[in-house]
Structure 1
Amino acid sequence: MLRVKRRYGAATSYLSKFTLLPQYKLKCGLEIHTQLNTANKLFSLSTNDPFHSSKSPNSLTSHFDIALPGTQPKLNYEAVLLGLKLSVALNCKINLNSHFDRKHYFYGDQPLGYQITQHFSPFASDGQMPLWQDIDDIDTKSKNINIIQLQIEQDTGKSLYKDVDKITLIDLNRSNVPLIEMVTEPDFSDLKEIRAFIKKYQNLVRHLDISTGDLETGAMRVDVNMSINEFARVELKNLPNTSAIMNAIKYEYQRQVKIIKDGGGMEHLSSAETRGWNGSSTVKLRSKETTIDYRYMPDPELPSISLSPDAIESIAKRLPPIPDEILNKLTHEPYNLSLKDAKILTISSNSQVELYTHEELRNYYFDTFHSYNNAVLKEKIGKVKPKLPINWIVHELLGDLNKLKIPLLEAKKVLTPQKLKDFLILIHKGDISSASGKLLLFHILEMIKKENFSSEGQLNLEKLISQYDLATIKAIDSNDLQKLCQDIITQVNDDRLISDIASGKRRNSLKFLIGQGMRYSQGRIKAQEFDKMFKKILNITY
């Protein structure tokens, strides 16, 4: 018997063991509301601030936003432009003559008494987003998620309930913020697909600069429609983040499976209902019988959105490559990046304060990669090492930028792709070791932060290498190297370890001695030199 625990801690632990049962088929669709990055609100000239919740309540409002009598809406066509970008990216059929409708209901945070949306003739329809096993970590090789429609609509305000004072406060800063509502077909059959789609859609709206896509701030809000074994649909609302979405689906799946197992499927799951999520369980909000009659009607104050095929074609031509295309490019010739590194250059984070944009980072990588490749071929200094640029940019440069809190835009005024290429060539030729290179890179960025360097021309790599004695010692005296290796063996002070290394019982421990040598020499002596000398001293033949 399936038990559904009520306490939050217990439920969280239990849900971590969740698996779908083959005899109880999950069928799921999503509705995603996305706030748009427009300068002004949808039907007024009020500022559309993505951080409206941190502003003084009701400070970002106009007469129309608060529904003063006699005010009329005026469409912000920037929202239409962003809607076009998203519709094209999702391969939607765009409606050349969409129009707005009124969805009637009254809450304190919707003072008009209705919401302006698109019900009868939405902006776009019949789109799709593909999911891939290698990119999106789903169980099947590929799967298309079909999109029913995209519609442009206005957001509502926010209600703040004060239990102590028994009052509700209304903040209309969010009122009339432009939204796109995207509705999928119920094509999801497991949680991996749902999680992958949400992340992919979130990254797409960030990539297109349509929205911040942040679930935590409400810039993106997800409602889930789900059913088990074709029983009536249950809608899950009030899901603040990906974790809540996953846990609510898990809980609701187990709740419905228990009902069916107990023989109450027809009785309890025969009509649709809406349920909320309280952090530990789903709770009933309303049933089909109590669903609000919204009395949709065309909005008489707003004209239709009339588009020409030429306008759509123009948007399509100017649209940047979508993330899947970029990932495919980065993981093939000539870059051959791992999927993990390619995603770092492609997938946007949800940080509100970033030191770089992913487009900026990607272009910096491309410019550095090609500059480095061309230099190696031109100077005829051996084979190109395709991983060298990505390793230094992603695994060293970004870490240093984060540590020092320096924006990439600021750093690359001095450390241009051309200058980073010069740095990589020094590593490539062995003029400086990786260890010395890390020290040099961090020092350069420190100098940039202190404004000691402000342009590419002020950065002289050779001078810094000489000043801090970082150059690789290519011709070390054999006696000096032997003395250093002998001192390391003495300091290890473990006769058994040294004996086992010499006899071959602990071959891998030779790397420990070499590592000690690299540490004492600060990476200026090559590992191969230490390898040869330790083998000579210990009479190693393997």
Structure 2
Amino acid sequence: MLKFRSLGFPPIKRKLSNVKPIKDFELTCGLEIHTQLSTTNKLFSGSINNPFESISKPNVNTSYFDIALPGTQPILNYEAVLFALKLALSLKSTVNLASQFDRKHYFYGDQPQGYQITQHYHPFSKGGYLTLSKEFDEINEPSKEIRITQLQIEQDTARSIYHQSLQQNSDEETLIDFNRSNVPLIELVTEPDFHDTLQVKAFIKKYQNLVRQLKISTGDLEAGSIRIDVNVSVNEHPRVELKNLPNTSSIVNAINYEYKRQVNVLKNNSLIATQAVETRGWDGSKTTVLRSKESTMDYRYMADPELPPISLDADVLCEVAKTLLKDADECIRELMSEPYNLSKKDAKILTIQNEFNELYNNEELRTYYVDTFKLYTNSMEDNKNGDPKIVVSWILHELLGNLKKLEISLNHVSRDMLSPGKLAEFLNIVHSGVISNSNAKQLLFHILEEYKLEGCNKSIDTNFVTLIKKYDLEVTKKIDYAVLEDGCKEIIKDLNNPKMIESIKSGKKKNSIKYLVGLGMRKYQGKIQAQELETMFKKVLDIK
């Protein structure tokens, strides 16, 4: 028999609370989102773009330009321009056919040039929007359009690492790792269209899904691929900029705290800030002042003399637009409609890219499902009792779980040994009752594991009828119900748990009978269908 392997349980997700509005005090927020692009090379040099190289290997992905060696000049990486173009078009933003790079002057240890190359006067694109809905994004309003102010391309800084010096009586040292220096960024600035944290959370999640779907960024907040600053104001008073927000929970908690703080200030008839923007940090429990107008820097923006404008032809925009995928919400609606009739949860899993990985992307996953579904339902003409719902169940819960555990890409499997046609054939065999669900799951894992062990060799045998006979996995066709009844009684006796049995019989724990069925499946090695076992246990326990 094949050995069953558990695939574990999904992680527990925590729900974040929405800010509670206080009468006569309206919250207004805008976001500034910095997104690291997953280009092969950095923005203005040929260095490998891998900003998350282990801290134990600092400064391994650097060039002379990245460390600002005098005399070095920038050379634009046009892959970053392509990525920016994909995002701008997806957000319905108006692309500037002649955008320009500028120098933003300041000096920190993590920016040794003395300036950052960004786009201040002529950004890459302006305008655009991202639409949120109550149906798919869990906001209170039926629909909410978040307007985009602009998108600009810029370079990231190096990373500062703080630790105590080993020398006696020395202050804290700051070390600089240039692996992140000159990594390409897109800075996206929204209009102040957010009025509660549900909208903020929904926008961040939808934006993460978008950059992952476009394959331009990993979209991870915790890892720093996306870094977000929030501008918060109450009743259109001067805004406060919040920084040092490492994840969604920090963003939500910081907004909640800052909203209440500003309301208290206004109730005491004080000014939020005397004349201009105040910048505050988040320490995990409260916001604290970082700088105010008196210490705000003059960045002395100027056009970069070493970089010409980015000149784009309108035809390029049209060609790139053709490569963009269908809107995610539209895909979800299609999957929830005829003929698929999926739940919203399953439709989202097939559509939304929740993580950036090399095993599969949601476009190919959705295509694989649709192709399998069509082939399976077409074959239902010969099998009138077929159940189309098992297609999504097997793909999402069994196939994907196995692929993740074995670290096999869906692209390889679907191309080589488990095409949509093969999976549809397998599901027909399962539904016809030739093999039990539990044994079918073990068989699927077995052929995938063998495929992995053979170096993903497509010659792996996927003749399911032959394999079922080879491993003696066929369901018993003629059941001796008297023998089966004795076997079920023996299972209950060996369990020796009168309390559980009584709770099943009384109806307090009806689902516990599934545990008995599981014991029966193990005893009969999956050769008796679960429905037969459940029926017999109910008979033995006199459950109606």
Report the alpha carbon displacement of residue 302 of structure 1 after superposing the two structures with TM.
1.8
Query: 1:160 maps to what in 2?
Result: 161
Query: 2:111 maps to what in 1?
Result: 110
Residues 453 and 243 (structure 1), Cα distance of their counterparts in 2 relative to 1, 3 Å cut = closer
Partner letter of residue 26 of structure 2?
K
Give the structure-2-normalised TM-score: 0.86
Give the SS at the match of 1:144.
strand
Match of 2:374 among 354, 358, 370: 370
Instruction: Give the conservation status (yes or no) of the 8 Å contact 1:259–1:268.
Output: no
Give the SS at the match of 1:345.
helix
Instruction: Give the conservation status (yes or no) of the 8 Å contact 2:386–2:428.
Output: no
Q: CA deviation digits over 1:175-197, x for unaligned, max 9?
A: 22211110000101111111111
Report the alpha carbon displacement of residue 459 of structure 1 after superposing the two structures with TM.
2.5
Fraction of identical pairs, as percent: 55
Residues 249 and 521 (structure 1), Cα distance of their counterparts in 2 relative to 1, 3 Å cut = same
Give the SS at the match of 2:127.
strand
Report the alpha carbon displacement of residue 366 of structure 1 after superposing the two structures with TM.
2.7
Residues 275 and 485 (structure 1), Cα distance of their counterparts in 2 relative to 1, 3 Å cut = closer
Residues 321 and 496 (structure 1), Cα distance of their counterparts in 2 relative to 1, 3 Å cut = closer
Query: 1:131 maps to what in 2?
Result: 132
CA distance in 1, matches of 2:174, 2:456: 55
Partner letter of residue 280 of structure 2?
R
Residues 265 and 527 (structure 1), Cα distance of their counterparts in 2 relative to 1, 3 Å cut = same
Match of 1:281 among 280, 286, 294: 286
Residues 79 and 147 (structure 1), Cα distance of their counterparts in 2 relative to 1, 3 Å cut = same
Q: CA deviation digits over 1:312-366, x for unaligned, max 9?
A: 1111112122322332232222222222222222222346x65433334333323
Query: 161-170 or 479-488, which moves further after superposition?
Result: 479-488
CA distance in 2, matches of 1:125, 1:62: 32
Query: 311-320 or 54-63, which moves further after superposition?
Result: 54-63
Q: CA deviation digits over 1:421-463, x for unaligned, max 9?
A: 2210111211112122122222323333332983255233222
Query: 355-364 or 89-98, which moves further after superposition?
Result: 355-364
Query: 2:73 maps to what in 1?
Result: 72
Report the alpha carbon displacement of residue 508 of structure 1 after superposing the two structures with TM.
5.2
Q: CA deviation digits over 1:65-104, x for unaligned, max 9?
A: 2223333222222211111100000011111221122211
Query: 1:12 maps to what in 2?
Result: none
Partner letter of residue 241 of structure 1?
N
CA distance in 1, matches of 2:183, 2:517: 62
Q: CA deviation digits over 1:255-278, x for unaligned, max 9?
A: 2222223x1433657642001122
Residues 384 and 75 (structure 1), Cα distance of their counterparts in 2 relative to 1, 3 Å cut = same
Query: 1:358 maps to what in 2?
Result: 362
Q: Which runs of 5+ in 1 are unaligned?
A: 1-14
Query: 52-61 or 294-303, which moves further after superposition?
Result: 52-61
Question: Is it true that 1:59 corresponds to 2:65 in the alignment?
Answer: no
Query: 453-462 or 186-195, which moves further after superposition?
Result: 453-462
Instruction: Give the conservation status (yes or no) of the 8 Å contact 1:110–1:157.
Output: yes
CA distance in 2, matches of 1:453, 1:287: 59
CA distance in 2, matches of 1:218, 1:505: 51
CA distance in 2, matches of 1:273, 1:119: 21
Q: CA deviation digits over 1:30-65, x for unaligned, max 9?
A: 000111122222222222224346473333222322
Query: 1:198 maps to what in 2?
Result: 204
Residues 365 and 232 (structure 1), Cα distance of their counterparts in 2 relative to 1, 3 Å cut = same
CA distance in 2, matches of 1:287, 1:396: 55
CA distance in 1, matches of 2:495, 2:60: 69
Query: 396-405 or 197-206, which moves further after superposition?
Result: 396-405
Query: 475-484 or 238-247, which moves further after superposition?
Result: 475-484
Instruction: Give the conservation status (yes or no) of the 8 Å contact 2:151–2:189.
Output: yes
Query: 2:528 maps to what in 1?
Result: 525
Instruction: Give the conservation status (yes or no) of the 8 Å contact 2:451–2:460.
Output: no
Paired residues, number: 522
Q: Which runs of 5+ in 2 are unaligned?
A: 1-15
Residues 410 and 420 (structure 1), Cα distance of their counterparts in 2 relative to 1, 3 Å cut = same
CA distance in 2, matches of 1:393, 1:122: 43
RMSD of Structure 2 on Structure 1 (CA)? 3.2
Residues 297 and 431 (structure 1), Cα distance of their counterparts in 2 relative to 1, 3 Å cut = same
Query: 2:151 maps to what in 1?
Result: 150
Query: 530-539 or 329-338, which moves further after superposition?
Result: 530-539
Q: How does 1:105-504 map to 2 (within 5 A)?
A: 105-164=106-165, 165-166=170-171, 167-261=173-267, 263-266=268-271, 271-350=276-355, 355-377=359-381, 380-412=382-414, 413-451=416-454, 454-455=457-458, 458-484=461-487, 487=490
Partner letter of residue 367 of structure 2?
N
CA distance in 2, matches of 1:283, 1:92: 35
Query: 1:3 maps to what in 2?
Result: none
Query: 486-495 or 78-87, which moves further after superposition?
Result: 486-495
Residues 121 and 381 (structure 1), Cα distance of their counterparts in 2 relative to 1, 3 Å cut = same
CA distance in 1, matches of 2:51, 2:446: 37
Q: CA deviation digits over 1:359-402, x for unaligned, max 9?
A: 3433332332222222223xx11144221111011112222333
Residues 469 and 158 (structure 1), Cα distance of their counterparts in 2 relative to 1, 3 Å cut = same
Query: 1:90 maps to what in 2?
Result: 91
Give the SS at the match of 1:370.
helix
Residues 406 and 280 (structure 1), Cα distance of their counterparts in 2 relative to 1, 3 Å cut = same
Give the SS at the match of 2:246.
coil
Instruction: Give the conservation status (yes or no) of the 8 Å contact 2:435–2:474.
Output: yes
Partner letter of residue 96 of structure 2?
N
Instruction: Give the conservation status (yes or no) of the 8 Å contact 1:83–1:152.
Output: yes
